[in-house]
Homo-oligomer: A and B are copies of this chain.
Amino acid sequence: MLEIDADRLRDTFADYSAIGATDRGGLHRLALSDEDKAVRDRFRDDVEALGLAVRVDELGNMFARRDGTDPDAAPVLVGSHLDSQPSGGRYDGQLGVLCALETLRALDDAGVETRRPVEIVNWTNEEGARFEHAMLGSGVFTDVVSTEEALAITDDDGVSVGEALERIGYAGDAPCEAHDVHAHLELHIEQGPTLEEHGTSIGIVEGVYGMSWLGVTIDGEADHAGPTPMHTRTDALDAATEAIGKIQKLPMRLSEDAVSTVGRISVEPDAINVIPTRATFTADVRSYDDDVVERGVDAIRFEVDAACERIGASSEVDEIWRIPHTEFSESVCSTVETVAAELDVSAERIVSGAGHDAKYLSDIAETAMIFVPSEDGKTHNEDEFTPWEDVVRGAAVFANTTLRLSSEQPDKIR
């Protein structure tokens, strides 16, 4: 088996975590910020120190290829993202890039020549925190978003992705488009509590939930909160409260895996002594079963209609986004499973409730992910934590799975 250097990984993780570090132990490293430039520079140095050339594409995605023995073989692509949420943790994204880097280093240490190239990647703007389009670099790479559209997205200050890339010197010449990839593997923190609850070290991610985002607007009548008796009111927030209560309890009627969230709400005129004339809220419903999502959307429409009908309000429910579930590669998953078993690392099959770059990559390559536990499921905040022993186990499974995938014959998968 390929040996990783746990101390080196830990030191590197500490070094990278100092770039954009927050006082409370997290990261503030928004996409294409000065902090992102600093970590990209460090990543470039580390990769070049392995004798590899870094390619940067138009979207700022960074690639480096360690050649294999077969000049015609498509590479195994490994990596994740180095950007963070505004008050993010040190594990989300960064851990995946550094396990990929450790894999390249371990291959060099062991003097291993793989048949296929092993290619490392750092995707641009996975978080979508500064530029509001999550998984942007991988999205353009897999042709889900056009290059023009992506470069034109602006942050709150009106700075475009294109301008920000130029500013930090990461607007590359290479077109951002998919090249031939044999298989793709991404390690990531779970961002949920399941592995910790089950006492499992790694999750073998079989796929990603399908989901729907809905925007709901309820129109009632504004009236003075004092002289308007309860029975004559058409309070938009009254109907919204009824509907939201049902939406929050929807998963119990849908499936074991379904989740349903109301993340945004506002009212008009938003005055303490005026009955709301309008209430606006969102719903996010997810399941691995697309039919469950469909039934969830139908149920939300039903509940909004019923709540409005009850008090004579009117409503509009718009579907903002719908994506079907994604099934990752059974072949790659079973390779991960075999490697974990050989390394005596506890593992379980799992699906991801959140999107990842690997979701888009699965459109163009055999793909799977490895999850490591998140303490209390905490993520997107400075308290993110994964026990170090689980990181090491995950990195070992990741490195050896990468090695095994890079030895596969062309006809092994697909």
Contact = CB atoms under 8 A, between A and B. Distances in A.
A59 to B, nearest CB: 22
Nearest to A381: B222
Nearest to A215: B272
A274 interface: yes
Contacts of A222: 380-381
Interface residues of A, number: 57
Nearest to A247: B241
Contact of A263 (B225, B241, B381): B225
A264 B259 contact: no
Interface stretch (A138-146, A231-239, A392-400): A231-239
Contact of A228 (B232, B262, B274, B353): B353
A191 B266 CA distance: 25
Contacts of A355: 226
A272 B263 contact: yes
A358 B337 CA distance: 79
A130 interface: no
Given A194-B229, A261-B273, A270-B264, A380 B224 contact: yes
A381 B228 CA distance: 14
A328 interface: no
Interface in A210-233: 211, 213, 222-230, 232
A380 B211 CA distance: 42
A234 to B, nearest CB: 11
A192 interface: yes
A377 interface: yes
A267 B265 contact: yes
A190 interface: yes
A262 B276 CA distance: 8
Contacts of A191: 224, 226-228
A49 interface: no
Contacts of A265: 237, 265-267
B227 A378 contact: no
A190 B227 CA distance: 8
Given A265-B266, A265-B267, A377 B228 contact: yes
A379 interface: yes
Contacts of A263: 225, 237, 267, 270-276
A377 B325 CA distance: 50
A347 to B, nearest CB: 17
Contacts of A229: 192-194, 259
Contacts of A261: 225, 235, 273, 275
A291 to B, nearest CB: 18
A352 interface: yes
Which of A251, A265, A286, A352 has the most B CB atoms < 10 Å from its CB? A265
A85 to B, nearest CB: 10
A369 to B, nearest CB: 12
Contacts of A193: 228-229, 232
B192 A224 contact: yes
A91 to B, nearest CB: 13
A244 interface: yes
6 contacts: A191-B227, A222-B380, A226-B354, A227-B379, A241-B245, A263-B276
Given A213-B273, A226-B354, 19 more contacts: A190-B227, A191-B226, A191-B228, A192-B232, A193-B232, A194-B229, A223-B378, A224-B353, A225-B261, A225-B263, A227-B352, A235-B261, A237-B265, A241-B245, A242-B245, A261-B275, A263-B275, A266-B266, A273-B284
Interface of A: 190-194, 209, 211, 213, 222-230, 232, 235, 237-238, 241-242, 244-245, 248, 251-252, 259-267, 270-276, 282, 284, 286, 320, 352-355, 377-381
